[in-house]
Amino acid sequence: MIVLKEVGKKYKNNWALKNVNLKVNSGEVLGIIGKNGCGKTTLLKIIAGLLKPSTGVIKGITDGISYIPEKPVLIPELSLMDNMRYFASLRNSKKERIYEELEYFQLTEHLSKRPTELSKGLQQRLSMAIALLSEPDVLLMDEPTSGLDAESKNLIMEKIKKLKREKKTIFYVTHDDEEVEAICTSILILENGTVYFHGSVEEFWKEYERYVFATVKLDNVNITRKVSLEELKEIGDVIHVRSVGIREFLAGREGDEIRR
Ligand SMILES: Nc1ncnc2c1ncn2[C@@H]1O[C@H](COP(=O)(O)OP(=O)(O)OP(=O)(O)O)[C@@H](O)[C@H]1O
């Protein structure tokens, strides 16, 4: 179990993270979501040990941790295979592990290509293959499927499901609510560096399912607003109502903030 107690990070005069308290069990996939700049990457880097927190402590971290940054870190001069070999040697990984991951991520026909010759999807698949060489217990992922082709996205998602079954602990930063629903067991919503919500996916929906998007007619113009079910009863001229997804919940709109 990984435990964060009162973790905070200050960059010069700006608190990027404040008072983050979390417990994440093995087998848990924690979806970390929130608007740009809310502190998601800072949180991952602190757990990865790449950044020192300004306040608080983290417990439960072992050597078996891999961080997959948003942009793959690969060695441009080396071929795909040599990148794998190089990182495998750094991590003392067994040779079979190289082939297992290359095969899973369907990279074997690209072995002699350099990273710049690979599509974004192949680069991200390689980055994941490298991160998994050492069979880490904890995996930190920063939007790994953002902007990827469907095949790469599918391979990555299926891999995460497998890692979840193997009881790995996964921190997964995403903007994609479908991914949250497909793979995450719990959700952390950050807002301006503080925890806005932390709980299971079920708890999230229990708390927020009472919000909907309602389209109303106002001065002959159709306006869509996020409203609570209680508010909905008071609104006249409702043309259309639909449920609020996690992404829409986060996106918000001016004047339409959900308040707890
Ligand atoms: N090295 C740094 N020096 C100063 N400020 C920083 C540094 N890194 C991040 N910040 C600031 O800290 C805040 C949180 O940044 P962070 O990258 O963690 O957010 P994020 O939620 O990951 O954003 P995004 O979704 O855009 O990746 C932002 O206001 C950012 O500008």
Q: Would you place residue 255 in the very low, low, confident or very high pLDDT band (cuts 50, 70, 90)? A: very low
| Residue partners of 77: CB distance under 8 A and separation at least 6 | 114
Residue with CA nearest ligand 1 atom 17? 41
Token digits of residue 78: 């080396």
Quote the ligand 1 centre to 38 CA distance (angstroms). 7
Mean pLDDT for all residues in the chain:
90
Structure confidence by residue, pLDDT tens digits, 168-180:
999 999 988 888 8
Tell which residue, 17, 68, 32, has the closest CA to residue 174: 32
Tokens 């690209």 -> residue: 110
CA of 131 to the centre of ligand 1 (A): 23
In this predicted complex, what is the ipTM?
A: 0.96
Cα maximum dimension of the chain: 69
Measured in Å, residue 58 CA sits from the centre of ligand 1 at: 20
pLDDT in tens, 86-145: 999 998 898 899 999 999 999 999 999 999 999 999 999 999 999 999 999 999 999 999
Return the higher-pLDDT residue of 239 and 218: 239
Do strands 2-11 and 55-59 pair parallel, antiparallel, or not at all (unpaired)? antiparallel
**Ligand 1 contacts CB of residue 220 (under 6 A):** no
What does the pLDDT look like over 32-85, one tens digit per residue? 998 889 999 999 999 999 999 999 999 998 879 999 998 889 999 999 999 999
40: CA distance to ligand 1 center in Å? 8
Phi, psi of 72 (to 5 degrees): -55, 135
250 touches ligand 1 (CB under 6 Å): no
pLDDT at 220: 83
Mutate which of 13, 14, 54, 190 for ligand 1 pocket (most atoms within 8 A of beta carbon): 14
The answer to whether 84 touches 133, Cβ cutoff 8 Å, is yes
β-sheet with 138-142: strand ranges across: 65-68, 138-142, 169-173, 29-33, 186-191, 194-200
41 Cβ below 6 A of ligand 1: yes
| The one-letter amino acid at 179 | E
